[in-house]
Structure 1
Amino acid sequence: MMAARRAVICMQIYQDAALIIESQQYRRDCLQLLAKKFPLIPQETLLSIYSQRYQQHTKQVHHAHRQAMKEYYDQYQSRNACQESSESLLLEMANEILFSPALFARMILEEHIRRNNLIPVETAASSIVSQWVKSPHLIQDTALQHQVRQCILTDTNYGPLGENLKHSVGHQYEFLLLEKIKELRIPYLDERDLSSRGYDKTPDIKLEVPIAVNGHIVNWIESKASFGDELNHNKYLDEQFWSYTNRFGSGLVIYWFGFVQELDVHEKQGIMLTDHFPPRSTITLLAN
């Protein structure tokens, strides 16, 4: 059963989608199956759910893959030495073990540095790896350089490309929020204003004059360019939202890509969830 708004889905539908993603071993082409199974759910919502499940899975298996880093490097060296070696070897190896290509490339680079004594002992290999991932042309081994670049460019969840995409989308929706607030001509403070006043944990927008949305007072608004699942929402509650309510009073969280309907249970405690900026007809301006 779907909620009134397409991006707000019940827990059962979310769990069904998560099961499909898991059954397809977190491959990106599972998005096609999700679209067929849930035609009424927006594509950006399905993509956000997939990305979050993928990242949660990656965090769970990351340590085990790091433990096997030396073995992976030996395999890479052996396969790379073959005449039939693929120019996309690193990417293929990452896909074979169902692991993030960008993170896999980082591990291979780290082991490559250690095996070849490319930096002084006192220098952290991870710091050099970060430089090489951002600027692959610094890698002197041209074959490795090419393969690392492939891993980075195809990985939309990790690495510089993925991070840039996430930041870009986040800024896009923060800008949209600001435009909506300005249209209402409501005085507000943003994160920079609040930080300059000494606040350490700040919402995206603090309204200097509260508004009411469907009768509920809103003192602050937080923009999340993601889907609100149970794991991330509970983390945000502990690390952000409760602090905002304790300091500024009740507020509004916008999960632009939707959320699990059953999570919207803290309205009486001052945290209201939505998947869009409230329409003007639902907003009461408490002062001009």
Structure 2
Amino acid sequence: MSGGDVPTKLKVLSNVQYQQICQFISRYRGLAIDCEYELRNRIFQDVDPMALTCILQSEVFNKTRGQHSKNDQRAKKLLKAYESQKDLYDDALLIRMSCVECINPVALCRMLLQEKYKLRHRSHVSRLLKNPHLIDEHHLAACVQQCVVSDNQEGPITDLRRRLIGEEYEMKLKTMAKEAGIHFYDERDLRRMGFDKTPDIKMILPFLYKGEVINWIESKANFGDTKGHKFNIQQQLQSYCNRFGPGIIIYWFGYHEETPLMPENKIGITVLPDFPAKEDLVFMQLDSGEAVPAGAPKETSSPLNESSK
């Protein structure tokens, strides 16, 4: 590696590496945003930063889901604690409480707002989180605003960031597919054609990837651990395989080494950490019916392979 090269970060993690990351997260005491900083900048610097962010997100989600009913029962006690201390501390009171109670800052805000204002619908609480200035108590409004900007796991800012990242990588998939010479339908095209569950792109004409027929590609701006991948198969990929045939799922931020080897993939699922290399793609010429490697010179002007001339 030359002096100017940037070392490649790990995206496909062994079971040992993955367990080490999960153990660090489970033992960490403090805000998830601080845990993410430790993961990315101090402890696991050889791992793709977005892989670490996604693993943290998954671990925190699983932990939070298990505590949901218990947290609801704690709401009265936590609101009472806030009311008794709000005159003693500055606007960081809820941040301190979330660290002590091991609750995400925004989750703590939800509990307190719901209890204080007797809000029965989640949408009403979400409105106050998006617009803290609507909270009539100024100290609480300031605390909520600080929690929203300090929480990297939930809340309006985090939801927006994740949605934008997902859209960015869907666009990346379409751009790379066009550059490879693939012609496809996207989700909007497929919905107009009457399909309900649709992959991100569906090939107009299938191609071969390392000898395997590919009919569709699904983009996931996420890390593919085995549990999450199994969920994706049940919710989406099995339907795609039944309807369209074999396809590819791309986990742009990497995956657990066992994910591509899961027996559930045998229905026609190929797992990749990036867009397939052009030299591994083989297209069918529409006029001659012959298979042609991507980028190979052609005598005809098949529209499917126009961009690889």
Q: Fold-level match, TM-score > 0.5?
A: yes
- Cα RMSD (Å) of the superposition? 1.9
Q: Is the 8 A contact 1:211 1:283 kept in 2?
A: yes
Distance 2:122 2:270 in 1: 41
Q: Does 1:285 align with 2:283?
A: yes
Q: Is the 8 A contact 1:169 1:225 kept in 2?
A: yes
Shift in Å, 1:58: 1.3
Distance 2:268 2:25 in 1: 34
Q: Is the 8 A contact 2:39 2:45 kept in 1?
A: no
Shift in Å, 1:132: 1.0
Which of these two proteins has the greater Rg computed from alpha carbons? 2
Q: Does 1:19 align with 2:17?
A: no
Classify the secondary structure of the residue corresponding to 2:258: helix
| 1:116-167 CA distance string (max 9 Å, x none) | xxxxxxx845332121111111112111111111111111110101100100
Q: Is the 8 A contact 1:191 1:203 kept in 2?
A: yes
Going from structure 1 to structure 2, the CA distance change for 1:178 and 1:138 (only over 3 Å counts) comes to same
Q: Does 1:43 align with 2:49?
A: yes
Q: Write the mapping of 1:237-256 to structure 2, written as runs, cut at 5 A.
A: 237-256=233-252
| 2:70 counterpart (56, 60, 64) | 64
Shift in Å, 1:178: 0.6
* Map of 2:229 onto structure 1: 233
Distance 1:96 1:268 in 2: 46
| 1:185 counterpart (176, 181, 195) | 181
What amino acid sits opposite 2:196 in the alignment?
D
Shift in Å, 1:62: 2.0
* Map of 2:82 onto structure 1: 76
Going from structure 1 to structure 2, the CA distance change for 1:13 and 1:26 (only over 3 Å counts) comes to farther
* Map of 2:158 onto structure 1: 162
Going from structure 1 to structure 2, the CA distance change for 1:27 and 1:144 (only over 3 Å counts) comes to closer
Shift in Å, 1:27: 4.3
Q: Is the 8 A contact 1:17 1:34 kept in 2?
A: no
The count of residues paired between Structure 1 and Structure 2 equals: 275
| 2:205 counterpart (209, 225, 230) | 209
* Map of 1:271 onto structure 2: 269
Distance 1:247 1:162 in 2: 34
Structure 1: gaps spanning 5 or more residues? 115-122
Going from structure 1 to structure 2, the CA distance change for 1:33 and 1:161 (only over 3 Å counts) comes to closer
Distance 1:5 1:283 in 2: 25
Q: Write the mapping of 1:74-223 to structure 2, written as runs, cut at 5 A.
A: 74-80=80-86, 82=87, 84-114=88-118, 124-223=120-219
Going from structure 1 to structure 2, the CA distance change for 1:59 and 1:74 (only over 3 Å counts) comes to same
Identity among equivalent pairs (%): 33
Q: Is the 8 A contact 1:26 1:54 kept in 2?
A: no
Q: TM-score, normalised by structure 2?
A: 0.83
What amino acid sits opposite 1:44 in the alignment?
M
Q: TM-score, normalised by structure 1?
A: 0.89
Shift in Å, 1:185: 3.0
Shift in Å, 1:267: 5.0
| 1:221-242 CA distance string (max 9 Å, x none) | 0000010112211110111111
Shift in Å, 1:40: 2.7
Shift in Å, 1:33: 5.0
